[in-house]
Structure 1
Amino acid sequence: MIQVENLHKTFKLYRSPALRLKELVFRRSFHREFEALRGVSFRVQTGETLGIIGQNGAGKSTILKILTGVLLPDAGLIQIGGKITGLLELGTGFNAEFTGLQNIHMNGTLLGMSKSEIQKKTEAILEFSELAEFIREPIKTYSSGMIMRLAFSIAIHADPQAFVVDEALSVGDAYFQQKCMKKIQQFKETGGSIVFVSHDSNAVKVLCDRAILLDHGMVADEGEPDSVLNTYNFFLARKAKGEEIRFDPRSDRCRSYGNFKAKITAVNLEDAGGEPAECLVSGAACRIVITLAAEQKVDDVSVGILIRDRFGQDIYGTNTYHQKLPLALKRGEMCRVIYALDELNLGVGKYTLTVAAHRQATHVDDCYQWMDGVRTFEVVAPTGNPFIGLARLKPSVMVEHLRRHDRENRQAAANGARGARKA
């Protein structure tokens, strides 16, 4: 378990190294202060993965350096239930002049491993990193991807109870990144706690149970990964335009934000009879009804829906703009947008419904209101027609019995086609 409470960290910034010496001699201030962390608090339970996202300079790497003991906080409480290791900036803890094998011993020692432990784990480290061929070469001859392979392999084989990963994991080829992701997942399943920093939205969604958004050293949002990622995208869009960001949290499960030029006042999921529904049969009819009220005059209004599965993966989304239904409202006007689905052809499972109102095609440019996970519903299998997967495709299935000469003719035709391709 990892617990962080009210963490603060401030750095002194000097315009030149000479000013640092001048400050010591004259005992006057020649620096400016930069608050990297301002009251950050979070908890990571055993077997849980926390994703940390945010723009460069938000304080993500500073948190990881404090967790791993590279930096000390100015104030705050940190509790870690066991040994913690991590993969921070590429090459941290390595000596470029040493061979890969020498760096295994040196880095392993820095991570708290004994000499006998390092010797026992060396073979496993080499096998996972796939660097046995180059292990007696100095790492100054390694590519950045090879250094990442070695660093990750050492850290994950140090038998930690907690593991932190920075953007260094993004270096290297896709094959080894996937290998690392699987290893992290295995570590999590055995009860390890993970703090994962990444700009890869898909990786955060797949690996993380929760996420926090850092902005200027403070926690701006916390919750389900898909919800926090939506908030982050909204942050980026609004900051790019220099607009004010406002939040309106309705409940623990629904995050709502936007400029609220138009407000979503009601969202209903109904069955075929128009009754509220939380459980629907795959293939049955249903309706999504959204009520919108204009706080001021809005043109080119688009009202959209987004259905996600229990892993936060987008399953289906559309809006009135893409459906070519123009909408404009005067101040005080209200309307209802009804999405009537003749057949809800989703696979069995639990889903969430997100709705939004914005200008034209996307919420990125001008978002009136985004309501994340406003409804949760379950889809059950239809009686007598089971299937597996995320979609009920309703195929037309036929069986053709072939006579012997039909089989021979088709085989001859297939052989002829293969011969023509080879020619």
Structure 2
Amino acid sequence: MTTHAQNGSPVLEIERLSKRFKIYNRTADRLIESFSRKPRHRVHAALRDVSFSLGQGEAIGVLGQNGAGKSTLLKLVSGVLLPDAGSIVRRGRIAGLLELGTGFDGKLSGRENIAVNARLIGMTSEEIEQRFDAIVAFSELAEFIDAPLRTYSSGMIMRLGFAVAIHAGPVCFIVDEALAVGDARFQQKCLKRIREFRDAGGSILYVSHDINSVKLLCDRAILLSGGEVVYDGLPEEAAQIYYRLIAGIDSDAPQANRSSPKSYGALRTRVRNVVLSGRFGPAMRFASGEEVTIDLECESDQDVQLSVGILIRDRFGQDVFGTNTALLRKEAHFSAGNGVCCRFSLQLNFAPGKYTVTVALHSDDTHVHDCQHWWDAAATFEIAGFQHVPFSGLCYVPAQFAQYPVRELEQPTLRES
């Protein structure tokens, strides 16, 4: 059961929200300040004039570097913190999973913590009683439910917190990086439940450093930097600006193509063209398993050695394969005034569908260091049909099959499919 907002109004409206914190170098400075009446702290503005609204059934991702204000924003929305300025209008019950341990008491048992935490997010005694068994079943902690929470691992605490929040019948579900804790199987279970919640008309505010999950889960993304909203729009565009931030490239940095904000960098060395070729020459359509070359036609204003990279994404924007010369333990040299072609050769062992190729030139194994050129979706191609063995899933992995009597278990005879 989900508690819905009324009259189609946004479930969450945030207007000019600001939050500051006093930072003391020493614990004793707080006491000294109270007696001396002289400031012994500095002020950190975690959020500054943040405004946006979250509609019914909408999923918004919140991106930003460490310290950008993401967790502070979610704590304000959930009521853990109070704002210094601005307003938050909530319509319906909002539940969330923030930092591990928020709202829990280590001295209490898991059973008691369910009751306490559920009360904190607005559930009634009747609702808690009705959903208790479902909460425990989802958390998979029945064996430990009467043990003190202090004996739980961080992954177990995350399980309990998520199970309570998702069964609270919220109109909006907020999720912080706490989902990164725990085993991969349970993370997948949580993400599946979040998708089901969204598909049923629930709203989501989702913070993650996992760009792929934001692209898949969210309709919209907000990018925070220095406590301010620097972008609010499509997740793909937010991701590109985020990549620029982590690479230390500001909005005034040169672009290889002014009409395309997806191409940027110092550009002292740059890619001018990208060409994909198969067995019949340059093409944009290939068979799964076909051998192709990806040629990066480059030019340089400097004598330099750089890492050259490619990144292939599917139609959802998910990274499906990437490599570069640093990872391949190869060297790429460029000289001023001369052009050079950098070629990658590979089998496109991908499922049928449409893909993009992003290319990059940088000084290390990632574009975070000395990004000369990052060109997102520099080329596109399509996989149509299979050249060799058909398969299910995203990519082909060579597989073998064998059948033999149990008594020969130690020496099986393998036959390649």
> What is the TM-score normalised by the length of structure 2?
0.75
1:354 and 2:366 aligned? no
Q: Distance in 2 between matches of 1:389 and 1:328?
A: 39
Q: Distance in 2 between matches of 1:23 and 1:388?
A: 66
Q: CA deviation at 1:160?
A: 0.8
The range that moved more, 145-154 or 44-53, is 44-53
The residue aligned with 1:132 is 142
Q: 1:300 aligns with which of 297, 305, 310?
A: 305
CA contact (8 A) 1:254 1:373 kept: no
Q: Distance in 1 between matches of 2:282 and 2:110?
A: 66
Q: CA deviation at 1:369?
A: 0.7
Q: 1:88 to 1:265 in 2, by over 3 A?
A: same
CA contact (8 A) 1:245 1:259 kept: no
The residue aligned with 1:123 is 133
Q: 1:8 to 1:251 in 2, by over 3 A?
A: farther
Structure with greater helix percent: 1
Q: 2:385 aligns with which of 377, 381, 398?
A: 381
CA contact (8 A) 1:274 1:287 kept: no
Q: 1:185 to 1:297 in 2, by over 3 A?
A: same
Q: 1:417 aligns with which of 400, 403, 408?
A: 408
CA contact (8 A) 1:238 1:244 kept: no
SS at match of 2:72: helix
1:327 and 2:337 aligned? no
The residue aligned with 1:370 is 374
The residue aligned with 2:268 is 261
RMSD between aligned residues: 4.5
**What amino acid sits opposite 1:310 in the alignment?**
R
The range that moved more, 3-12 or 113-122, is 3-12
**What amino acid sits opposite 1:264 in the alignment?**
V
Q: 1:113 aligns with which of 120, 123, 135?
A: 123
Residues 188-221 of structure 1: per-residue CA shift (max 9 Å, x gap): 2222222233445665565455555544323456
The residue aligned with 1:161 is 171
Q: 1:22 to 1:293 in 2, by over 3 A?
A: same
Q: CA deviation at 1:162?
A: 1.2
The residue aligned with 1:310 is 315
Q: CA deviation at 1:287?
A: 6.8
**What amino acid sits opposite 1:151 in the alignment?**
G
CA contact (8 A) 1:40 1:218 kept: yes
1:82 and 2:92 aligned? yes
Query: Where in structure 2 are the equivalents of 1:196-207 lying within 5 Å?
Result: 196-199=206-209, 204=214, 207=217
Identity rate, percent: 46
| Alignment gaps of 5+ in structure 2 | 1-10, 413-417
CA contact (8 A) 1:253 1:373 kept: no
SS at match of 2:266: coil
Query: Where in structure 2 are the equivalents of 1:234-253 lying within 5 Å?
Result: 235=245, 246=253, 248=255
> What is the TM-score normalised by the length of structure 1?
0.74
CA contact (8 A) 1:82 1:161 kept: yes
SS at match of 1:178: helix
| Alignment gaps of 5+ in structure 1 | 396-409
CA contact (8 A) 1:262 1:298 kept: no
Q: 1:353 to 1:46 in 2, by over 3 A?
A: farther
Q: Distance in 2 between matches of 1:362 and 1:17?
A: 39
The residue aligned with 2:415 is none
Q: CA deviation at 1:368?
A: 0.6
Q: 1:340 to 1:146 in 2, by over 3 A?
A: closer
- Report how many aligned residue pairs link the two structures: 400
Q: CA deviation at 1:161?
A: 1.7
SS at match of 2:82: coil
**What amino acid sits opposite 1:351 in the alignment?**
Y
The residue aligned with 2:19 is 9
Q: 1:285 to 1:59 in 2, by over 3 A?
A: same
SS at match of 1:367: coil
Q: 1:288 to 1:210 in 2, by over 3 A?
A: farther
CA contact (8 A) 1:129 1:153 kept: yes
Q: 1:146 to 1:284 in 2, by over 3 A?
A: closer
**What amino acid sits opposite 1:328 in the alignment?**
F
CA contact (8 A) 1:51 1:208 kept: yes
Q: Distance in 1 between matches of 2:390 and 2:144?
A: 53
Query: Where in structure 2 are the equivalents of 1:144-293 lying within 5 Å?
Result: 144-199=154-209, 204=214, 207-208=217-218, 211-219=221-229, 235=245, 246=253, 248=255, 255-267=262-274, 277=284, 290-293=296-299
Q: 1:5 to 1:268 in 2, by over 3 A?
A: farther
Q: CA deviation at 1:85?
A: 0.8
SS at match of 1:86: strand
1:36 and 2:46 aligned? yes
